[in-house]
Amino acid sequence: MKVLITRSEPGASQTAERLKRRGAEPVIAPLLRIRFIEDVVQSLEKTHALLFTSPNAVRAWLADRSETDLPAFCVGDSTAAEAEAAGFSRVRSAGGDVGDLLDLCEARLVPGRHRLLYLRGQHTSGDLAGALQARGFEVDEAIVYEAVAENKLPLSAARVIRRRELAVALFHSRRAAIAFTALTEEADLSDYLNTVIAVAISEKAAEGLVRSDWAAVKVAETPDETDMLNRIGFAP
């Protein structure tokens, strides 16, 4: 079974390894390129904790910074694992989405006492900083990376779609889904998707797809890759 992976690297290769262990044949075709923002000037003098909503944010922050002594509050387990691998010793995972991270911050931190720094990408699916500020927290934001969409469908993706060899396509973000929709339309390949199952990490990601193009669009019950793979029968 061939499965298309549209997420950016290095995550795409990590997903590919998970699929191989489950007997699938991965087709890596990243639709977004991660560009780190250089020379992020941000004082940590009054910061009590860092907030991360993606592994890319962790990697981008530490591309030219070295501070790992502050607590790292992470949206999910994969982001938390990236923070731990990067050297953070005090890591907490919300185990879900931005709403869960908001709840974690409220449970573990004190408004008016703890000042937070939210390290994020150029494009976000929610307003975490605004939600925290509405609850009395002082929150700074720093954009540390940008996800740049490809301007052409990768050849690896176009080939398996045109040959009708593709069984499943994975979408880890709304922007990847939007980019895929636009690029397949441009390549005149939308009609070849009616035998393919699309699996999205969230309803927001699924919103970037034209549901009528696909054999089915499935959405993970929890916003993580393990649940995405479970939705198509790739249990560990």
Tell how strand 32-36 and strand 138-149 pair up. antiparallel
Domain at 39, CATH number:
3.40.50.10090
User: 148, 180, 196: which is the final residue of a domain?
Assistant: 148
User: 121, 148, 175: which is the final residue of a domain?
Assistant: 148
CA–CA dist 106, 119 (Å, integer): 18
Range of the domain at 133: 34-148
Q: What is the mean pLDDT of residues 158-184?
A: 97
pLDDT computed for residue 26 by the predictor: 97
- How many domains, in total, are found in the chain? 2
Q: Is residue 40 domain-shared with residue 9, that is, in the same domain?
A: no
The answer to the question of residue 236 being in a domain is: no
The answer to the question of residue 235 being in a domain is: no
pLDDT tens-digit readout, 90-129: 999 999 899 999 999 999 999 989 999 999 999 887 799 9
The answer to the question of residue 167 being in a domain is: yes
pLDDT above 70: residue 235: no
Q: Is residue 168 domain-shared with residue 198, that is, in the same domain?
A: yes
> Cis omega (within 30 of 0) on the bond before 55?
no
Indicate the average pLDDT of the chain: 94
pLDDT tens-digit readout, 42-65: 889 999 999 999 999 999 999 988
Residue position matching structure tokens 């790992």: 68
Q: Is residue 68 domain-shared with residue 24, that is, in the same domain?
A: no
Structure-token pair, residue 117: 């720094």
User: 106, 132, 148: which is the final residue of a domain?
Assistant: 148
- In this prediction, what percent of the chain has a pLDDT beyond 70? 99
pLDDT computed for residue 123 by the predictor: 87
pLDDT computed for residue 236 by the predictor: 59
